[in-house]
Each structure stands twice: as structure tokens, then as C-alpha cells.
Amino acid sequence: MGKVSRLKQEFKKYFLPRTKAVTVPVSEDKLLEGMVTLITGGASGIGFAIANRFVQSGSKVIITGRNEAKLKSAVEKLGSEVSSYIIMDMIDVSDIETKVALAFQIYGGVDILINNAGVMSTSRFGQTTEEEFDQVLSTNLKGTYFVSQEVSNVWIKHKIEGKILNISSASQYRPGTHPYPISKAALASLMKGMAYQLIPYGIKVNAIAPGPVATAMQKTDDDDSIFNFSNPSHRMAMPDEVANLALFICSAKGDLMVGSTYDLTGGGGTISLNR
């Protein structure tokens, strides 16, 4: 047997046990039936919209954040019987192992990780302080790195084929004129690196890159217009639109989605590269 044939045999031996047909749930409304989802930054905005959509689809959810009052309010809205919260600061890497272990204890496991926690920056190159730079990079990139590492290590140890979804931004395609697009460009690289490292264990990693979304981060509320002149579609995305795409990717329907970023920009940064 030649070298190529031996490699193919070894490949089949390792991967065939993981190769199976996609099981489509009976109910389209319960695509995540029996799953547990951990969502960082899940008390408001995109994170809360994802939590709400996942609960509707059968998943129990655990949301994290720094503000306990907001977390409690979110859990009340989601339903305390299907949701819980953990106070966690993404900047405090020393506490991540403990908080992830707690997340696995609440419902007896975690099947999906949504890396949503993030902060914006406003100052441009030339005016950025070290404090602002560190806060943005530590939250958006460093925290995501170590939460993902901790969760995936548990999955690998217990042979769990989970899913990781990073909520990135279309800013990852723009020049790094301030810490936010720099953090999102680095997050795109991290996503592909994690996807490459983890797919041999059956763990799928992907990302969504929204354009402007009608959340508090964009200084909008439920009564504000979502009109956006600079976008080819002339509007911002709604949090529920991000949540619906997240649901598809994290359900059995998205089992062959690996190492990809899915733009949700209304054309900004895709068909119109300068917007």
C-alpha cells in the first residue's frame, strides 16, 4: 500500500465515526430542542435577541454580563425556568475558568457558545488612550479567546461536538483607524484559527459580521428610525435578523458551516466597499 493510500485509510478511520447524515428536527420551531447555549453579553441588544430566539427554539440559555440588574431583568423576560445568568467580566481572564465551569453545572452541560460580548471605541488613531485600547481589545478579543479555549477544552475532554459562533462586525473589513475594527479583524483571524484547530473534534466555529444594528451601541431604541443613508439597503439590521441567522448556523441545518463569516450588512462593505 502506497503512502497516499495509507493516509486515506487513516483519515477514514478517524473521521468516519464522525460522518453522519444531518438529522432534521420534526418541528421547525424546535431546532435547538434539548440544547444549552452560553451567550456572553446576553442581557441586551444582539445577545438578548439571540437568547430569546434560542429559547423559542427549545434551547435553555445562560447569559453573562457585568451588570446584575440587567441580567436579572433579561432572565425575567426570557423565563427563569429556561434561562439563567452568570456575572462575568470578559476582561478578568483569571475568573473565566471558574465561570465557565459554573455554566456547565447549571443545566448539566453547554452545547453552543455565542461570543457576543463587545465594546465600541470612538477615538481615532492619534487620540486613542492606552486605557481605551486595552478595554476594547481585552473585551472583544482576549476575553473571547479565553472563553472559547475553556469551553472547547471541556468539549474535547468529554467528546462533545459543540458549536461556537462569534458575533463580529463588518468593521473587520475596514482599515484599523481605531481599536474597534482592529479587534474585529483580529477576531476574524481567531475564528478561522479555532475552526481549523477544533473541526477534527467535531466542533464547528463560525462568525456573523453585521453592519450597523439597531441597538443601544448605535444609540437607538425601539422608537428610533432604522434608516441609514450610507447603506445600500438604506437601513440598519434589526437584532432579530442577526438572531435568526445565528439560529440557522447553530442548528442541525448549519452542520456543514465551518470556518465561515456570514455578512449581514445590507450590502455595506460587500457590494459597496467604501461604505
Contact between 50 and 246 under an 8 Å Cβ cutoff? The reply is yes
Q: Is 231 exposed, middle or buried (0-12, 13-18, 19+ CB in 10 A)?
A: buried
Say if 11 falls within a structural domain: no
Low-confidence ranges of the chain (pLDDT < 50): 22-26, 219, 229, 275
**pLDDT value at position 214?**
81
d(CA 164, CA 148): 8
**pLDDT value at position 275?**
47
Which CATH number goes with the domain that contains 248? 3.40.50.720
d(CA 49, CA 177): 29
Say if 23 falls within a structural domain: no
Say if 7 falls within a structural domain: no
**pLDDT value at position 212?**
79
Q: Is the dihedral of CA 275, 42, 260, 190 positive or negative?
A: positive
Say if 5 falls within a structural domain: no
Rg of the chain on CA atoms, in Å = 19
Q: Give the residue among 208, 106, 198, 114 at the shortest CA–CA distance from 161.
A: 198
SS3 58: coil
Say if 3 falls within a structural domain: no
Q: Give the residue among 53, 25, 51, 19 at the shortest CA–CA distance from 37.
A: 51
Say if 274 falls within a structural domain: no
pTM (two decimals):
0.86
Single-letter amino acid code for the residue at 84: S
Say if 32 falls within a structural domain: yes
What is the total count of domains within the chain?
1
SS3 60: strand
Q: Which residues carry out catalysis?
A: 180
Q: Where are the beta strands (DSSP E) in 47-143?
A: 60-65, 83-87, 112-115
d(CA 170, CA 119): 15
Q: Are strands 36-39 and 112-115 parallel, antiparallel or unpaired?
A: parallel
Say if 71 falls within a structural domain: yes
Residue numbers of the domain that contains 134: 28-264
Helices 144-157 and 179-198, axial angle in degrees (round to 10): 10
